[in-house]
């Protein structure tokens, strides 16, 4: 199924929840959606028989300046089509629903996004830091992040 | 019961098969290359192979101080200063016959940082910076600096920072002095010219 | 006792002789351990198309010596949380267990440190002392890995003692003696007189040969388990239990465990050689036989068995702990019972 | 010894003390600096909590500070065992952003190099898996063969492990004249050793008993956890990006996708995952043979390398390729300058490792080590 | 008192017996080095290759030990992150004296490729534990690691046991005076 057809299906079902569809070479076509609806949209994407996106390839966080972006790359084993879902949350209240219970692989991806960007995935069972130490401060992948001077008595900068 | 005996038999048989293989290997010639006595063939750029990426070496007579290596380096381990050549006063040439544009009074590569990716060698316009096949320069110290052209080349125990300067301090001072003089001269000439110009203009105007 | 020990014959029965007799195996043990360590390093290297230690003396022959010198100099750490008396005692107990077994090993027709009549029984009894040392060391180290290693080790030792003992019992039945010197004497002659091939006898013994060969194999497997060597090196399985029960030991105490392992290897090899492979008897009748040649044959055969142990170690993967128990209780034990039954039948018919 | 079924845990009737064991970060068989918090009951694992991040080297932060070609050395250091395969999806992603067409010869060399590196990676994977099971000798046989492959790569790229060989639009260096012959010799040696190891290790009864019927990963769980590569194929899912989402010139070659069949135990156990790797080496040998036969002799490998690298602003792409460990993807976002705005690496091992707590519950502690070994993780890629 | 001269001055006069003992002890330590089986990152793969047949690290008398208690030296092969640094310090402290450290590769020398922007990378293992030999390379060739090992053995051979100072330092001091 082509990306614009997927967009039509989603648009029909969610209406205002779907914000934008963009398809221009060389980029992958993507659908940007409302962050609060992300769980329902993903649920439809996974379970409706014509979409059947059973494979979450990648979940990435983004720093877009004023807001934070989350990008879902989905793939379907059955229909061998893929789609990119994008959403943004404001930096002050970066909360959005977790898709961990749809695709278990999102568990660690979401933890990583929380670790590096500080998004809060509500509904996630175990949202703790994953790569950095549990007592680390700040979200290092944000563009305004400053390296700490010291950690556990060890100097960090060169 | 048959399965039981079969599994015992399989266990014994596969063990025997394995033992046969290891026993045969006992009589195979070993492949070890005993390093300090024997050497591995390291590709050295001949016969169409790539150059093995070990320690970097810089031919100072070829380096023109273009700083491309330093910009290409992903880890910023190359640090260099340049000194303009006083054009007209002195006209040094590089080894390959080109005109030299700059002296390099300090050029340091920190091999403790280097990631041996080979990007610096690929951008060098004169092939001054090259990888060599030498890898034996481990050291008891990290912070010390080895002066590549002045120190004994067998004695690399001083550190991992290499300085590739073939000019002595006095020479550098001399070059600096020459450049300063040249610049002063140029500035004076320029000043004279700028002074002369408005005068000429005013003269022209008054005329 | 006199006729089995040339030292007593020479020097008479006094304290110095006794000390000398007990020191002789120790001297042998040290030399042997050095050789075995070197052998292990070199044989494993050759099997893997390597060369092994090469830079210590000529072709690395001094390597074990360097290791001993190094181990003497190492700092001896006692963990703070360890139970100190037990922790310090454990390696010596393990080593004692291994060394005490040397008392009844018949090196030659005229040298056995102590020719007691219950030789085989004694070896089995003393061999279990090592398990106490291991569990002491593992528990006293106050480390989870050592405790797990020690627990596994004891379970393993106990379950493999039984098939091993059954195999040896068959030999006791065949030779009607527990004295190791007597067992050796019963196998005099060509190699087909070894108990591995049914012991002395004419064509009637042919049908019992598969069973005695099976018993040899069973004892071999059981002995591997008793010395904690691959495929039964579960107590010190590097991939899961770091270094097993001796994880916390360093320096000389670790060297004790190390030595004990190699000493144990020799003890089980010696028992195997004595019981099944004719001990100090020459394999070729009276060819090259005699007291000194006896020692040569005995040590040579033992070294061959040790070579097989090393060979197996560098060939096989490791068993899991429940599979080890399965192998011990459900395969080796029934098979050894069957073999024992037929060997006894054979003995009864003759 | 075929009775090793998954042990049923009935704690309601059997109350016993559980021990919390800390495996790693320094442990001989965690394949690096992985830390596992394991709760064991006797010898049976009741819970596994992986703690990762002990090798978090800030890859993504570095990418933002580097220009596009400078990222390649860092990409090498993700999955450092198969660096060529790592470079490929990244280079492809940037090439797609810039819409560069890569010369024919470069494509063939890339295929040969990637497949050689796949063999080298699987050799390490099977070797360390055997090492976890206690077999040391096959480990060294594999490493001996790997050396022959590394020599070829070193002669082409100059480095032994982290090659920086695939450049955007081309290659760092052309191959040398005797390249084809040496590649064929190397795969001959690979096949010889594989046959030997099949007897020495894979079909050894002890090894089968150790690895069959443990760590069973059903196909639906594998897909839900987004496992890929041999981990997924071991569960019987015939899915390989080289065939199913084909890239480069893989559609020109004839090769099979080996899947686990449950030959000695249940489908999807550790033995199946391992045997898939053994068969894949053979398939890679086939691909290499075909590629060597078809490869054009002439051509400039550097002709398509662009002088200026400025992808259009806002362009973004997710490019994936079949790493030896599974699907490796790079999500590249451009901001119109010569430095990328964001690069996210979808680490194969990172995703594959997340399935470990599910498939290792209820087995023995010694099995946990083998299950971990059968997933074949590389910590550089898990932690990035 | 010729024999004991060496206690104070290892270089001049007498001290033959102690000198010989010292040489023997040093010889033993330098030829039998057990290393901690410990891999961190990329260099660990080259380190595995070093143990394999073509290079055969065991030629130098080294044996891998999995327990730090029994190890003589530790090879830091790879990037040390801040999360890992505490553990390495503990590991080093668990090792029994005499112990040595070889730092392999750029990452453990000073952070390597990650020295500039690596917010989570320790910039050099020598910030937490003392290092005896630095081997440069990213990763170093296995031969380079062997060369580092030879350097370490040289260092051990030249150590003075009975006067508490490293001979190498004195040698260097003498060299410096002469120059």
Instruction: Give the model confidence (pLDDT) of D177-186 as tens digits.
Output: 888 888 888 8
At CA A27, angle to CA A22 and CA A30, rounded to 5? 35
Q: Burial level of E71, CB count in 10 A (0-12/13-18/19+)?
A: buried
For the segment B137-186, what is each residue's pLDDT rounded down to a tens digit? 888 877 777 777 776 655 656 678 888 887 778 888 888 888 888 888 88
Chains in contact with D, where contact means 3 or more Cβ–Cβ distances below 8 Å, are: A, B, C, E
| Torsion angles phi and psi, residue D15, rounded to 5 | -90, 125
Note whether D173 contacts B: Cβ–Cβ < 8 A. Answer: yes
Q: What's residue D2's pLDDT?
A: 40
Query: Do D206 and B7 make contact, defined as CB atoms within 8 angstroms?
Result: no
Give the confidence band of E158 by pLDDT, cuts at 50, 70, 90. confident
Q: Which residues of D touch E116 (CB under 8 A)?
A: 65
* Closest Cα in chain B, distance from residue D29 (Å): 24
CATH number of the CATH domain containing A141? 3.30.460.80
Tens digits of residue pLDDT in B34-68: 888 888 888 887 878 888 888 888 888 888 888 88
Cα distances (Å, whole numbers) of residue D45 to D255, E11, E82: 40, 60, 30
Residue C283 falls in which region: left (phi positive, over 0), alpha (psi -120 to 50) or beta:
alpha
Q: How many domains does chain A have?
A: 1
Tokens of residue E149, six digits: 């090992």
8 Å CB contact of C48 and B25: yes
What's the pLDDT score for residue D300? 82
* Nearest CB neighbour to C311, from listed B19, B29, B31: B19
Nearest to E150 among B32, B36, B75 (CB): B36
Kindly report the nearest CA distance between residue B33 and chain C, in angstroms.
9
What pLDDT is attached to residue E1?
A: 34
Interface contact flag, B111 E140, Cβ < 8 Å: no
Question: For residues B105 and B168, what is the distance between their CA atoms, to the nearest angstrom?
Answer: 9
**Mutation target vs B (from D199, D205, D213, D301; most B CBs, 10 A cutoff):** D205
Q: Give, for A33, the enclosing helix (H) or strand (E).
A: strand A30-33
Tell me which chain C residue has its CA closest to the CA of residue E97. C75
Question: How would you class A150 by CB atoms within 10 Å of its CB: exposed for 0-12, middle for 13-18, buried for 19 or more?
Answer: exposed
Per-residue pLDDT of A36-91, as tens digits, reads 888 888 888 888 888 888 888 888 888 888 888 888 888 888 888 888 888 888 88
Higher-scoring residue by pLDDT: D291, B84: D291
In the predicted structure, residue D104 carries a pLDDT above the cut 70: yes
Say if CB A72 and CB A33 are below 8 A apart: no
Q: Residue D8: its pLDDT value, please?
A: 46
Determine contact: E90 vs chain C, CB below 8 A: no
Q: Does D233 touch chain A (CB under 8 A)?
A: no
Task: Say yes or no for a CB contact (<8 Å) between E86 and A145.
Answer: no
Q: Is the confidence at residue E2, as pLDDT, over 60?
A: no
CA-based nearest residue in chain E for residue A130: E83
Domain locations along chain C: 80-349
Interior CA angle at E88 toward E39 and D23, to 5°? 65
Mean pLDDT of D159-178: 85
Minimal Cα distance from D240: which residue of A? A77
- Among the partner-chain residues E39, E81, E117, the one whose CB lies closest to the CB of D62 is E117
Task: Check if the beta carbon of residue C299 is closer than 8 Å to that of residue C280.
Answer: no
Tell me how far the alpha carbon of residue B35 is from its chain's centroid.
25
Q: In this structure, are residues C312 and C318 in contact, taking their beta carbons and an 8 Å threshold? A: no
Q: Do B138 and E113 touch (CB under 8 A)?
A: no
CATH number of B56-183: 3.30.70.20
Q: Is E105 on the interface with D (CB under 8 A)?
A: no
Annotated domain spans of chain B: 56-183
Report yes or no: C316 at the B interface, CB cutoff 8 Å. yes
Nearest-5° angle of CA D212, CA D213, CA D218? 120
Q: Would you call A73 and D317 a contact, using CB atoms and an 8 Å cutoff?
A: no
C-alpha to C-alpha distances, D190 to B41, B76, E35, E47, nearest whole angstrom: 21, 40, 31, 21
Distance from C-alpha of C184 to C-alpha of C177, rounded to nearest angstrom: 10
Whether C43 and chain B come into contact, CB under 8 Å, resolves to yes
What does the pLDDT read at residue E11?
Answer: 46
* Alpha-carbon span D272 to D283, nearest angstrom: 16
| Whether the Cβ atoms of residue D212 and residue D270 lie closer than 8 Å to each other | yes
Looking at beta carbons, which residues of chain E come within 8 Å of C249? Answer: 69-70
Q: Residue E145's closest CA among E70, E62, E72, E65?
A: E62
* Contact yes or no for C222/C156 (Cβ under 8 A): no
Interface residues of A toward E, Cβ cutoff 8 Å, are 131-133, 140, 145, 147-148, 151-152, 154-158
Q: Which of B74-78, C55-59, C96-100, E136-140 has the lowest mean pLDDT?
A: C55-59
Q: Is residue C1 predicted with pLDDT exceeding 60?
A: no
Lowest mean pLDDT among C30-34, C144-148, D100-104, E117-121: C144-148
Do the two chains D and A touch, given a threshold of 8 Å on CB pairs and at least 3 pairs? Answer: yes
Whether E153 shows a pLDDT value over 70: the answer reads yes
* Residue B194: alpha-carbon gap to chain centroid: 44
- DSSP code string of B110-126: ETTT-----HHHHH-SS
- Whether residue C77 and residue E24 make contact (CB cut-off 8 A), yes or no, is no
Enumerate the domain spans of chain D.
3-383
Using a pLDDT cut of 90, give the percent of chain D over it: 0
Show Cβ contacts of residue E43 under 8 Å, excluding neighbours closer than 6 positions: E77, E78, E104, E105, E107, E108, E139, E140
Which residues lie below 8 Å from residue C345, measured CB to CB, with a gap of 6+? none
pLDDT for residue C55 is more than 50: yes
Do the beta carbons of residue A29 and residue A4 sit within 8 Å? Answer: yes
Looking at every residue in chain C, the average pLDDT score rounds to 81
Chain B residues in contact with E143 (beta carbon < 8 A): 35, 39-40, 135-136
Asked whether the predicted pLDDT for residue E8 surpasses 60, the reply is no
- Which residues numbered 91-120 in C keep a CB inside 8 Å of some CB on D? none
Strand B102-110 vs strand B161-163: parallel, antiparallel, or unpaired? Answer: antiparallel
Query: Which of C41, C70, C247 minimises the CB distance to E58?
Result: C41
* pLDDT for the residue numbered D14: 54
Pairwise CA distance, residues E171 & E162, whole Å: 16
This prediction has a pTM of 0.88
Distance from CA of D340 to the nearest CA of B (A): 14
- Decide if A141 and D60 are in contact by the 8 Å CB cutoff: yes
For chain D, what percent of residues have pLDDT higher than 70? 95
DSSP state of C328: I
Whether residue C319 and residue D206 make contact (CB cut-off 8 A), yes or no, is yes
Closest-CA residue of chain C to D39:
C144
Q: Does domain D3-383 have CATH number 1.10.645.10?
A: yes
Helix (H) and strand (E) counts in chain B:
4, 6
B3 touches chain C (CB under 8 A): no
Res. E178 pLDDT band, cuts 50 70 90: very low
Mean pLDDT value across chain A: 85
* Residue C41, token pair as written in the block: 């390093």
Give strand pairing partners of B129.
B58
Contact residues on chain A for D317, CB-CB shorter than 8 A: 26-28
CB contact under 8 A, A130 and D61: no
Which of E67, E72, E90, E99 would best serve as a mutation to test chain C binding (most C beta carbons within 10 A)? E67
Q: Which residues, including other chains, have CB under 8 Å from residue B144's CB and lie 6 or more apart?
A: B158, B159, B160, B161
Helical segments of E69-113, H only: 82-94, 105-110
- Please give the Cα distance from C53 to E56 (Å, whole number): 9
Q: Which of D138, D119, D118, D120 lies closest to D128 in space, CA to CA?
A: D138
**Chains touching chain B, criterion 3+ CB pairs below 8 Å:** C, D, E
Contact, D133 vs C318, CB < 8 A?
yes
Say whether D223 and A71 touch across the interface (CB within 8 A).
no
Closest by Cβ to D56, choosing from A71, A108, A131: A131
The whole-angstrom separation of Cα D371 and Cα D365 is 10
Q: State the Cα angle at E79 between E76 and E80, rounded to 5°.
A: 75
Q: How far is CA C42 from the centre of its chain?
A: 20
Residue D351's DSSP bridge partners are none
Residues C43, B26: C-beta atoms closer than 8 Å: yes
- Provide the pLDDT for residue D4: 42
Task: Read off the DSSP letter of residue B98.
Answer: P
Strands D326-334 and D340-346, sheet pairing: antiparallel
**Domain that residue A149 falls in:** 3-155
Mean pLDDT in residue range D40-47: 82
Matching residue, tokens 């400039």: D300
Torsion of CA C152, C157, C158, C159, to 10 degrees: 80
- Kindly tell me whether chain A and chain C come into contact, counting contact as 3+ Cβ pairs under 8 Å: no
C-alpha–C-alpha distance, residues D343 and E47, integer Å: 30
Question: End-to-end distance of chain D based on CA atoms, in angstroms?
Answer: 41
């Amino acid at each position: 199924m082509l990306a614009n057809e997927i967009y039509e299906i989603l648009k029909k079902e969610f209406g205002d929840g779907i914000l934008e569809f963009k398809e221009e070479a060389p980029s992958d076509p993507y659908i940007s959606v409302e962050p609060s609806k992300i769980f329902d949209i993903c649920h439809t994407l996974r379970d409706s028989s014509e979409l059947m996106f059973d494979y979450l390839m990648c979940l990435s966080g983004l720093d877009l300046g004023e807001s934070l972006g989350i990008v879902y790359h989905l793939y379907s084993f059955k229909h061998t089509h893929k789609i990119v879902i994008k959403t943004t949350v404001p930096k002050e209240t970066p909360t959005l629903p977790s898709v961990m219970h749809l695709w278990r692989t999102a568990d660690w991806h979401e933890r990583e996004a929380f670790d590096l960007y500080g998004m809060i995935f509500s509904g996630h069972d175990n949202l703790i830091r994953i790569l950095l130490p549990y007592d680390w401060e700040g979200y290092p992948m944000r563009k305004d992040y400053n390296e700490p001077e010291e950690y556990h008595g060890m100097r960090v900068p060169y | 019961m048959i399965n039981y005996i079969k599994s015992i038999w399989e266990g014994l048989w596969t063990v025997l098969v394995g033992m046969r293989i290891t026993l045969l290997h006992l009589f195979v010639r070993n492949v070890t290359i005993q390093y300090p006595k024997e050497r591995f063939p390291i590709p050295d750029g001949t016969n169409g192979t790539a150059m093995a990426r070990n320690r970097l070496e810089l031919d100072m007579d070829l380096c023109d101080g273009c700083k491309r290596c330093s910009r290409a380096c992903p880890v910023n381990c190359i640090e260099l200063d340049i000194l303009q050549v006083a054009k007209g006063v002195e006209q040094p040439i590089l080894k390959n016959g080109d005109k030299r544009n700059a002296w390099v009074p300090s050029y340091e590569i920190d091999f403790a940082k280097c990631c041996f990716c080979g990007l610096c060698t690929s951008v060098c316009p004169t092939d001054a910076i090259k990888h060599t096949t030498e890898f034996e320069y481990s050291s008891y110290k990290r912070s010390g600096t080895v002066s590549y052209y002045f120190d004994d080349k067998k004695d690399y125990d001083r550190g991992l920072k290499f300085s590739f300067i073939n000019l002595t301090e006095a020479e550098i001072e001399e070059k600096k002095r020459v450049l300063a003089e040249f610049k002063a001269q140029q500035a004076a000439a320029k000043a004279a010219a700028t002074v002369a110009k408005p005068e000429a203009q005013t003269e022209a105007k008054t005329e | 006792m006199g006729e089995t020990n040339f030292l007593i014959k020479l020097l008479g029965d006094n304290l110095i002789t006794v000390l000398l007799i007990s020191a002789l195996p120790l001297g042998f043990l040290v030399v042997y351990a050095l050789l075995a360590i070197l052998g292990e390093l070199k044989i494993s290297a050759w099997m893997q198309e390597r060369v092994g230690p090469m830079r210590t003396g000529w072709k690395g022959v001094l390597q074990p010596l360097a290791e001993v010198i190094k181990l003497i100099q190492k700092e001896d750490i006692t963990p703070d949380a360890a139970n100190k008396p037990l922790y310090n005692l454990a390696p010596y107990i393990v080593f004692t267990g291994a060394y005490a077994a040397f008392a009844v090993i018949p090196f030659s027709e005229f040298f056995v440190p102590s020719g007691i009549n219950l030789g085989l029984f004694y070896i089995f009894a003393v061999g279990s002392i090592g398990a106490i040392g291991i569990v002491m060391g593992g528990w006293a180290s106050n480390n989870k890995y050592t405790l797990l290693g020690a627990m596994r080790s004891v379970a393993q030792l106990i379950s493999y003692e039984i098939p091993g003992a059954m195999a040896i019992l068959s030999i006791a039945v065949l030779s009607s003696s527990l004295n190791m010197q007597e067992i050796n004497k019963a196998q005099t002659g060509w190699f087909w007189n070894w108990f591995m091939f049914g012991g002395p006898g004419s064509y009637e013994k042919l049908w019992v040969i598969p069973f005695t060969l099976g018993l040899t194999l069973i004892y071999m497997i059981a002995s591997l388990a008793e010395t904690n060597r691959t495929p039964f090196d579960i107590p010190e399985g590097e991939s899961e239990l770091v270094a097993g029960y001796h994880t916390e030991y360093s320096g000389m105490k670790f060297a004790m465990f190390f030595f004990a392992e190699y000493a144990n290897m020799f003890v089980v090899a010696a028992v195997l050689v004595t019981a099944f492979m004719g001990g100090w008897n020459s394999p070729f009748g009276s060819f090259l036989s005699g007291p000194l040649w006896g020692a040569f044959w005995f040590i040579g055969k033992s070294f061959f068995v040790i070579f097989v142990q090393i060979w197996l170690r560098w060939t096989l993967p490791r068993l899991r702990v429940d599979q080890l128990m399965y192998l011990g209780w459900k395969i080796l034990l029934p098979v050894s019972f069957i073999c024992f039954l037929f060997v006894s039948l054979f003995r009864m018919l003759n | 010894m075929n009775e090793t079924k998954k042990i049923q845990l009935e704690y309601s009737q059997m109350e016993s003390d559980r021990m919390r064991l800390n495996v790693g970060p320094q442990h001989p068989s965690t394949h690096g600096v992985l830390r596992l918090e394991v709760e064991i009951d006797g010898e049976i694992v009741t819970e596994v909590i992986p703690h990762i991040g002990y090798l978090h080297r800030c890859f993504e932060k570095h990418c933002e500070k580097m220009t596009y070609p400078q990222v390649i050395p860092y990409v090498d250091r993700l999955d450092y065992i198969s660096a060529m395969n790592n470079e490929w999806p990244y280079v492809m992603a940037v090439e797609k952003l810039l819409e560069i067409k890569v010369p024919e010869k470069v494509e063939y060399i890339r295929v040969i190099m990637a497949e050689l590196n796949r063999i080298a990676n699987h050799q390490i994977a099977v070797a360390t898996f055997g090492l976890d099971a206690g077999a040391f000798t096959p480990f060294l046989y594999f490493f001996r063969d790997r050396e022959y492959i590394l020599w070829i790569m070193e002669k082409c790229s100059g480095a032994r492990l982290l090659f920086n060989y695939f450049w955007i639009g081309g290659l760092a260096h052309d191959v040398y004249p005797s390249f084809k012959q040496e590649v064929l010799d190397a795969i001959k040696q690979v096949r010889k050793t594989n046959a030997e190891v099949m007897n020495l290790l894979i079909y050894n009864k002890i090894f089968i008993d150790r690895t069959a019927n443990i760590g069973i990963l059903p196909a639906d769980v594998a897909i839900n956890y987004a496992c890929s590569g041999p981990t997924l194929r071991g569960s019987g899912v015939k899915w390989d990006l080289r065939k199913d989402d084909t890239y480069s010139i893989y559609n020109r070659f004839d090769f099979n996708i080996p899947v686990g069949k449950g030959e000695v135990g249940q489908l999807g156990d550790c033995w199946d995952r391992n045997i898939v790797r053994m068969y894949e080496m053979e398939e890679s040998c086939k691909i290499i043979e075909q590629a060597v036969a078809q490869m054009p002799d002439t051509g400039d490998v550097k002709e398509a390398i662009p002088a200026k690298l400025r992808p259009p602003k806002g362009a973004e792409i997710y490019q994936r390729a079949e790493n030896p460990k599974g699907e490796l993807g790079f999500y590249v976002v451009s901001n119109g300058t010569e430095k990328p705005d964001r690069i996210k690496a979808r680490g194969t091992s990172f995703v594959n490792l997340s399935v470990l707590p599910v498939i290792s519950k209820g087995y023995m502690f010694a099995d946990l080590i083998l299950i971990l070994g059968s997933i074949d993780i590389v910590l550089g890629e898990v932690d990035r | 008192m010729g024999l004991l001269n060496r206690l104070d001055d290892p270089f001049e006069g007498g001290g033959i017996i102690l000198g010989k003992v010292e040489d023997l002890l040093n010889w033993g330590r330098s030829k039998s080095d057990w290393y901690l089986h410990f891999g961190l990152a990329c260099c660990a793969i080259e380190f595995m290759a070093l143990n394999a047949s073509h290079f055969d690290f065991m030629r130098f008398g080294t044996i891998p030990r999995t327990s730090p208690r029994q190890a003589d030296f530790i090879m830091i092969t790879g990037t040390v992150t801040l999360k890992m640094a505490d553990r390495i310090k503990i590991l080093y402290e668990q090792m029994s004296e005499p112990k040595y450290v070889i730092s392999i590769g750029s990452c453990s020398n000073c952070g390597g490729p990650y020295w500039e922007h690596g917010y989570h990378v320790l910039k050099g293992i020598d910030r937490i534990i003392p290092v005896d030999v630095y081997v440069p390379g990213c990763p170093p060739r296995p031969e380079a690691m062997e060369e580092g090992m030879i350097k370490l053995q040289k260092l051990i051979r030249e150590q003075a046991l009975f006067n508490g100072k490293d001979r190498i330092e004195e040698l260097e001091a003498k060299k410096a005076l002469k120059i």
